[in-house]
């Protein structure tokens, strides 16, 4: 009976140690994913829609005295964003 109990407690201990290692590994992965998500979704990231709105404002406010190449560049940027959002 004592041998059975010691084997049972021993297997529980092994399970507990394995469980702790699994939890530790899962936490490390979560922290890594958190860094990845923060890199691509942080608050200072600008969306394609917002970027397009800002470019349209710039294009609308280009003075008439600006060279045609400046206006064409702004228009190409807007078209590029529309074709390749995000």
Please state at what angle helix 68-83 crosses helix 48-60, rounded to 10 degrees. 160
Range of the domain at 5: 1-45
Mean pLDDT of 10-36: 75
pLDDT band, residue 4 (cuts 50/70/90): very low
Query: Is this model's pTM higher than 0.75 or not?
Result: no
Count: domains in the chain: 2
Q: How confident is the prediction for the chain on average, in pLDDT? A: 75
CB 76 within 8 A of CB 54: no
CA 56 to chain centre: 26
Do 4 and 31 lie in a common domain?
yes
42-75 pLDDT, tens digit per residue, is 666 777 778 778 888 888 888 888 888 888 888 8
Do 33 and 58 lie in a common domain?
no
């Amino acid at each position: 009976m004592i041998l059975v109990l010691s084997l049972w407690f021993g297997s529980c201990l092994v399970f507990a140690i394995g469980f702790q290692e699994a939890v530790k590994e899962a936490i490390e992965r979560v922290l890594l994913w958190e860094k990845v998500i923060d890199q691509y979704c942080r608050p200072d990231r600008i969306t394609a829609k917002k970027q397009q709105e800002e470019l349209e404002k710039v294009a609308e406010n280009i003075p008439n005295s600006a060279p045609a190449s400046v206006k064409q560049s702004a228009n190409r940027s807007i078209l590029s964003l529309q074709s390749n959002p995000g």
